[in-house]
């Protein structure tokens, strides 16, 4: 998800405008998997598929009376599958109208869910900067930006006798940065330019012939990311570090956000 969508894949319209909660697209295909699960594939989407530590958007795909309620979205080989069900809009038990290939549709995502997911994702990235500011130069690892227990992991350890102090310092540092605010840059760049924005180098998993998507908070070094983010660091709201745990050489920082 860190690189721009390749030819033939679903165009990720939220790459162009993360603030868009409505858009239009064209139906490419309809699928029914084993067990009856339905999926719609579009030429473009503002629905963020689950991945990169961020949950999927939910919402509605509609056209000419047909209403497809999206409860999940997943990307497979660059194609985004919108999973859900057709709604019986009339409520009278009749077979509801369905979408057709080639049909133009309107997309609408759950704005409240998107906002929370973006704030949680940005908060996780902000903690990376705070760790560096506090001299905790641990290598960032996995991020889990789901509402049910967001956390970020780092390779390396914080001594046990410093955990409580670092927890307090991290939270204070994060909220100081949030109170100051800083514009968040998220865009696709040529490889060399992306590397410069990320401090001079990119992770080895990113191909040198790709155009990576980079997120950058203010003057801090950026990093590759395919998720959604706030427009300004101030939009994260209040951040609370709920715990720091060290296990098997990995430091896990858990957190939450509130308005």
Query: What does pTM read for this prediction?
Result: 0.92
| 5 located within any domain | no
Range of the domain at 73: 11-109
| 1 located within any domain | no
| 3 located within any domain | no
* Percentage above 70 pLDDT, the chain: 95
Total tally of structural domains belonging to the chain:
2
| 2 located within any domain | no
Kindly state the average pLDDT of the residues 37-48: 96
CATH number for 184: 3.30.980.10
| 51 located within any domain | yes
DSSP 3-state assignment of 29?
strand
| 242 located within any domain | yes
CATH number for 42: 2.40.30.130
Cα 45 versus chain centre, distance: 14
pLDDT band at 62 (very low <50, low <70, confident <90, very high): very high
| Residue in the structure block whose two tokens are 């959604």 | 228
pLDDT mean across residues, the chain: 93
Q: Is it the case that residue 83 has pLDDT exceeding 50?
A: yes
| 30 located within any domain | yes
């Amino acid at each position: 998800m860190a690189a721009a969508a390749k030819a033939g894949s679903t165009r990720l319209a939220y790459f162009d405008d993360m603030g868009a909660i409505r858009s239009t697209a064209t139906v490419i295909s309809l699928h029914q998997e084993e067990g009856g699960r339905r999926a719609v594939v579009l030429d473009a989407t503002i629905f963020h598929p689950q991945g990169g530590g961020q949950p999927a958007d939910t919402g509605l795909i509609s056209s000419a009376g047909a209403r497809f309620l999206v409860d999940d979205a997943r990307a497979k080989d660059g194609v985004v599958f919108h999973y859900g069900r057709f709604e019986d809009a009339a409520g009278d038990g009749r077979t509801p109208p369905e979408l057709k290939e080639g049909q133009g549709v309107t997309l609408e995502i759950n704005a409240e869910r998107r906002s929370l997911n973006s704030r949680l994702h940005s908060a996780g990235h902000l903690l990376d900067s705070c760790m560096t500011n506090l001299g905790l130069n641990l290598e960032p690892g996995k991020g889990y930006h789901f509402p049910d227990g967001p956390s970020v992991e780092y390779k390396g350890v914080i001594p046990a006798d410093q955990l409580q102090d670092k927890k307090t310092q991290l939270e204070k540092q994060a909220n100081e940065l949030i109170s100051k605010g800083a514009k968040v840059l998220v865009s696709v760049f040529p490889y060399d330019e992306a590397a410069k924005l990320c401090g001079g180098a990119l992770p080895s998993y990113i191909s040198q012939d790709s155009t990576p998507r980079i997120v950058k908070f203010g003057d801090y070094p950026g990093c590759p990311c395919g998720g959604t983010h706030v427009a300004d660091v101030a939009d994260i709201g209040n951040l609370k570090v709920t715990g720091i745990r060290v296990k098997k050489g990995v430091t896990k920082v858990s957190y939450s956000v509130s308005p």
